[in-house]
Structure 1
């Protein structure tokens, strides 16, 4: 008898672990490729004709991809807010997310002469397609996860955070390479920058991203194939038929005999209050800053403080989401949403963003650029912005899931992408008017 109980307990733990792994791997497929491209920018910028201007151009190209969520919104409206669009859309996302990095590994360096100058057309176009599927994941993955017990949402967010952490780890292993100032072959009095290659190439890095997307796709297929066949929401859901998913990820606790089961969406929980609308506005605002503006000015804000600062700050910022997600799992009470807490965190994050924007606007003479402590100040501001806004993202994501259900998560994702697009357009426009200036690695500046 005791042996039977022990065997049952071990089986339960195994199923629980399998469930965690599946949701983590599924979440990895959200922003993996686009995060990977941003992490590679310190290596791409010195090798491509756009130079520092590559950041706002790539930001604009990737945010034009927000047409994807708009299309999904139209489809959702036409079919009556059914969830039938989710699985086909996710399959397309994975198809593009697996194949495009492979294609990009052979074409990222190719230049096309357009409008009187060489342009990285292959990188920008393929980057657009990667962003297209990543942006669309915001309005497909979250509603898909909503089919499951709410306990799995934080696990999914953990996987989504790994879509930042894993490319960051690859970036750390890869390194940024070194840069030296050497005399110009044509004029020895002029110093030019010479860069040395990292530990492994950009091509290898992109191939690794494709492999990770394959693993995420397998996890999605396992979840999809084991769901109830009926996806129609009902007001008073009856117990659904047990499926293979119950066999894979069912959790039976010894003392309470509770089970994690699939739940059918309850439309009674999908009401918007004034407070919910206010939180959606905050989601829009923080998305403008965090996802739209900051990535587009990273070269102008960080490069004046050195290539190493640029490279490692970008990587550390990608680790902030996993860290905040991990804290939310250990101390969920810290992520209880109150209006006062959200307003204070939004104000603090906005102030830190203003300093970051100032460093980009004043380049090449960014604040304290010639002082050793200058790079630490800008690094702290960048990390703080990511920590505080990711805190809001997770807290408000859970709030939307518990108070507004499928509808709330859909608008959460849609406004995230709307904010990202707005911020990218703003920075692209400012850069087109020459607001931001480069700082040469080997140049001499008088910034006192």
Structure 2
């Protein structure tokens, strides 16, 4: 029975962030198809932030109507919604409509909002449900949560990326001389399997999470439920640390068990830099962008695991990481500003730098853990606020003022 519950807890954790992680790692393929092109990530960051309406409403319900909102009902709803949204995304991700005189990926944006709503709301519903189980199963849940980023990244690597090639095409000149004019355009070879197959894969992972949750919810509550093994109720909601300072001591042991395994949250960095990731990575080639997105998703849970076994709380160490991350982030932003002709373009060294530093910026922060639940809550709140401000700041800069310039693999001429 214990092994079964561990497997179910891990499977349940798979559904926490699999959809949003999957969308990010698939962007290098769909960005060349949808009309927003290189501006697509800036739209995605804003949509994810809007989806935080879900956890906000759940938290308000807990505060205003204590005991009225049942986590298991919300979880059934959001996971079922996630399965349906993934299936719809597989069929309609490339459908476009005319809005304000221009083509836009309306279907993709609407479905992405509902997928993001699922993942964002999981933050305030999945873990409170797990509090009904012994603490050792919460650790397994965090492992599943980490795999929700790791598995889509690995599948994206197996999917590959459409390699770009330059193709000559001719058209008859307009001077009625019968002469042909030759033009060069970029053509992308198909990946190993299509985005539709990948989105069906995300639907399957969400189905596994829904099935695991259904089984967990139906298990008898009599097995191993001794009082000393249960997760303290003081950490049963994301708001507990804000109004219950005593939760710090009681929740310390549980936090330690899950520390480094979960927290595969993309939201902390889905504000400033991801909005311009196409501009910083695409000039180095579609492969560089693909590796940057996929390896970041894979590296996140790996970095969490490393942080669990090699903990270092010294201010000097954390300060050094902060300075290093700031430097990498500044380089990333500078290359986006220089798009479509960044430094070391066309060289293997340039591609290695942009891929490795992008992974660090997206995952270096996972080892920054405070020692109290209260501090963790405020740290998460600050990260969410920073992500919101970053996404809302970058959206007009990218889409309205056009401060970042896109390029073409075959026709962009750089000095």
TM bracket, shorter-chain basis? 0.7 to 0.9
The one of 403, 407, 414 aligned to 1:439: 407
1:170-192 per-residue CA deviation (whole Å, 9 max, x = no partner) reads 21221112221112343743210
Structure 2 unmatched runs, 5+: 172-179, 235-243, 250-264
Question: Residues 69 and 414 of structure 1 are in contact (CA less than 8 Å); yes or no, is this contact kept in structure 2?
Answer: no
1:109 alignment counterpart = 94
Q: Relative to structure 2, which stretch is displaced further, 143-152 or 161-170?
A: 143-152
1:385 aligns with 2:361: yes
C-alpha contact 1:69 1:417 (8 A) present in aligned 2 = no
Q: Which of 131, 135, 139 is equivalent to 2:116?
A: 131
Q: 1:206 aligns with which of 199, 202, 223?
A: 199
Distance 1:422 1:214, change over 3 A: same
SS in 2 for 1:205: helix
Match for residue 90 of structure 1?
75
SS of residue paired to 1:158: helix
CA distance in 1, matches of 2:245, 2:384: 26
Count of aligned pairs between the two proteins: 382
* Matched-pair contact (CA < 8 Å) for 2:28–2:293: no
Tell whether the 8 Å contact from 1:142 to 1:410 is kept in structure 2 after alignment: no
CA apart distance, 1:153: 4.2
Distance 1:340 1:156 in 2: 32
Q: Secondary structure at the match of 2:303?
A: helix
Per the alignment, in what secondary structure is the counterpart of residue 229 of structure 2? coil
Q: Which residue of 2 aligns with 1:189?
A: 182
TM-score, length of structure 1 as denominator length: 0.78
Gap regions ≥5 residues in structure 1: 1-14, 229-242, 251-258, 273-285
User: Is contact 1:139-1:410 (8 Å) kept?
Assistant: no
Deviation at 1:336, TM superposition (A): 5.4
The structure 2 residue matched to 1:325, chosen from 279, 304, 307, is 304
Whether the aligned pair in 2 keeps the contact of 1:290 and 1:389 (CA below 8 Å) is: no
| Paired position in structure 2 for 1:428 | 395
Distance in 1 separating the partners of 2:115 and 2:17: 9
Kept after mapping to 2: 8 A contact 1:65/1:135 = yes
- Name the residue aligned to 2:280: 301
SS at match of 1:47: coil
- Residues 391, 131 of structure 1: CA spacing in aligned structure 2 closer, same or farther, 3 A cutoff? same
Alpha-carbon deviation of 1:95?
1.1
Find the aligned partners of 2:278 and 2:198 in 1 and give their Cα distance.
20
Relative distance call for 1:76 and 1:308 in structure 2 (3 A) is: same
Alignment partners' CA distance in 2, 1:221 and 1:95: 11
Which residue does 1:221 correspond to in 2? 214
What SS does the corresponding residue of 2:346 show, helix, strand or coil? coil
Q: Does 1:363 align with 2:349?
A: no
Quote the residue 1:290 is aligned against. Answer: 269
Which residues in structure 2 correspond to 1:29-428 (within 5 Å)?
A: 29-80=15-66, 82=67, 84-186=69-171, 188-226=181-219, 243-244=222-223, 246=224, 261-266=229-234, 269-270=246-247, 290-328=269-307, 331=309, 334-335=310-311, 337-392=313-368, 395-396=369-370, 399-400=371-372, 403-404=373-374, 414-428=381-395
TM-score (norm 2): 0.83
Determine helix, strand or coil for the equivalent of 1:335.
Answer: coil
- Deviation per residue, 1:146-186 (Å, 9 max, x gap): 44444444433321121111111221221112221112343
Q: 109-118 vs 353-362, which deviates more?
A: 353-362
Q: CA deviation at 1:64?
A: 1.5
